[in-house]
Amino acid sequence: MTALPSTGASWGVDHLARACAACQCRWLLPAPQATQCPWCGTTGTLSEASFRVPAPEHIRTNAASREAVARTLRRALARIPAALRPPDLDPRRLEDRLRAVFVCRWQVDSDVHGSWSCQAGFDYDVETHRERRVAGGWDVQKINRTHIDWEPRHGTLARHIDNVPAPALVEHRRIESVLGPLDGDDHRPYQPGDVAQGAVMLPNLSQAEAWNRAQDSLDEEITQLVQAACGAQHIQNVKIDARYDNQNWTLLLTPLWTTHYQDSRGAIRHIRVHGPSGAMRGELCADHKKLTLARWGTRLAAVALGAVGVWNPTGLIPPPLVVMIAAMILFLGPRLLPESAKLDNQTAG
């Protein structure tokens, strides 16, 4: 019995295979980074792991460079005054922790043989009229409406279908819902140098486990092909009775950027960036103790200002004006202090 490899030699890189006990992710990490989980940010939870996964076939283009992500983070961080930030929320630390992570998904190539049936919908225009009574006469307006002619179609198929997507991670749906699609046409052939500095999240869904989703994707692809073959504009009630032979499973890598910080309550907060689109997700939170102090300080200052205004020792400024300013500070001041800066609408790159 041959022992499974624990390095990324088969991928052309000298990474180490590790498993995180905290988040259950399996990684291929550069040796210097093999102490901290790039996803959950915990240290000391990584253990040696083995893997047998073929080298990826494609890798998506990373539109967000490290510099662009760092620049965007600094800009977002500027919205929270330095005095209100938790100690760990420091631009230099965030930048130091910024890591390239590659998330994978399966791509399936398959021969498809079988039969199908559907209702193919063909658009056609129908002429109709609208008539309006205007000044004793009738204003006639001709209107064209598009209707759909549904017709039954049957047929056979014998095709080879390439690169049908299927999830490779249990967290696939959650990651996609948060960050964006892990599938796209903006990819190129995999080169080992692409992941030399990054961590690769290895599949935790086997091909057998991912097959149901792959078959759904294949059927979706077949549905589109059948619609195109029929020359139809719409399709419904598709039934496919097919055999999927000569399957070839490969991986597609989607680049992400990830960094994290510890907030004032001790929780780790993650900031992630979807590489192909540059979309950022995360939140930069102020230190809640410092924020509370600042709010009370503002309120006390406002009360003091109001008292001075009423006392009016100089007689230069009318007391009502001072009281009004003090009241505004009292009520608005604490609300103007930023609690957090959300990154969800930010794009790096």
Partner 1 sequence: MSASSWRPPDGFVEVDSALAGISVYAPAPPPDDVAPPPDLRCERCGAPAAYAPGEHALVCSACASKSTIGATNVSVEEGKAEFRVATLDEMKRGWGASRTEVHCEGCGATVVVEARAQVTECSFCLSTHIVAQGASQEQLRPSSVLPFVVDEAGAREVISGWLREGKYQPVGLPRAIQSLHLQGVYLPWWVFGSTIRVQWHCEVKVTRGSGDNRQTYWEPRSGTERIGVSGDLEPAVNDLDERLVDQLYPFPLAQAVDFAPEYMAGFQTRGPTVNLPVAFARARHRWRDQAHAAAQSKLAGQSHRNFTSEITYEGERWQYVLLPVYIGRYRFKDDWFDVMVHGTDARVVGHKPLDARAFQKRAALLLAPGAALWTAGQILQEGFSRHTSLSTWGLIVSAGVGLYLYLDWQQAKKAGGPS
Give least dist CB 245 to partner 1, A: 11
Give least dist CB 230 to partner 1, A: 6
Distance between CA 29 and CA 257 in Å, rounded? 14
Going by C-alpha positions, the residue among 298, 293, 294 that lies closest to residue 328 is 298
Determine how β-strand 199-201 pairs with β-strand 99-134. parallel
11 or 116: whose CB is closer to partner 1?
116
95 or 111: whose CB is closer to partner 1?
111
Give least dist CB 146 to partner 1, A: 10
- Contacts of 88-93 spanning 24+ positions with Cβ under 8 A: 88/261, 88/262, 88/263, 89/261, 89/263, 89/284, 89/285, 89/287, 90/261, 93/261
239 Cβ partners below 8 Å, 6+ apart? 116, 117, 118
Rg of the chain in Å (alpha carbons): 30
Neighbours of 66 (CB within 10 A): 16
Going by C-alpha positions, the residue among 161, 153, 159, 155 that lies closest to residue 113 is 159
Q: Hey, is 234 helix, strand or coil?
A: strand
Give least dist CB 137 to partner 1, A: 11
1 or 134: whose CB is closer to partner 1?
134
Residues 333, 298 contacting (CB under 8 angstroms): yes
156 or 191: whose CB is closer to partner 1?
156
Residue 92 vs residues 124, 289, 297, 300: alpha-carbon distances, Å: 62, 22, 29, 34
Give least dist CB 235 to partner 1, A: 12
Give least dist CB 127 to partner 1, A: 5
Residues in the site for partner 1, rule: CB under 8 A?
Answer: 113-115, 124-134, 138, 144, 147, 151-159, 225-226, 228-231, 241, 243
127 or 185: whose CB is closer to partner 1?
127
Residue 217 vs residues 1, 48, 106, 214: alpha-carbon distances, Å: 36, 34, 11, 5
Give least dist CB 247 to partner 1, A: 17
Phi, psi values for residue 24, rounded to 5°: 65, 10
149 or 216: whose CB is closer to partner 1?
149
115 or 212: whose CB is closer to partner 1?
115
131 or 185: whose CB is closer to partner 1?
131
Give least dist CB 164 to partner 1, A: 16
